[in-house]
Each structure stands twice: as C-alpha cells, then as structure tokens.
Amino acid sequence: MRNSCQIVVNARERTTLKKWSKSPMTPMRVVVRAKIALLAATGMETAL
C-alpha cells in the first residue's frame, strides 16, 4: 500500500472546499476533488 502524506487545511480553505462540493454550479471534477481533499484533511487514507 502507498504511504499517504498528511494534508493540512485551514478554516478558510475548508470553507471554500465545502462550498465547492455543495454548489450545483461547480464543475463535477472540481466537486470530486474538493470532496477528496476534505476527506484527506480528516485523515482518511487511500484504499489502493
């Protein structure tokens, strides 16, 4: 399994990522990446 690096997201970045992940006007690729970043920031590891 791969070693994952720790992602640190401050409050402002977290707010922006949440906004992007919930907006119907945001392109789907940005929504998916925002959700991945939020999960990584909470400590979720990759499942590869």
Angle at 46 (CA atoms; ends 42, 48), nearest 5 degrees: 170
Q: What are the tokens at 5?
A: 């690096």
Within a domain: 10: yes
Q: Are 27 and 38 in contact (CB under 8 A)?
A: no
Q: What are the tokens at 15?
A: 């707010």
pTM tops 0.85: no
Residue 3: per-residue pLDDT: 62
Within a domain: 45: yes
Q: What's the domain count of the chain? A: 1
Task: State pLDDT tens for residues 12-47.
Answer: 999 999 999 999 999 999 999 999 999 989 887 766
Within a domain: 17: yes
- What domain range is 45 assigned to? 1-26+40-48
Within a domain: 14: yes
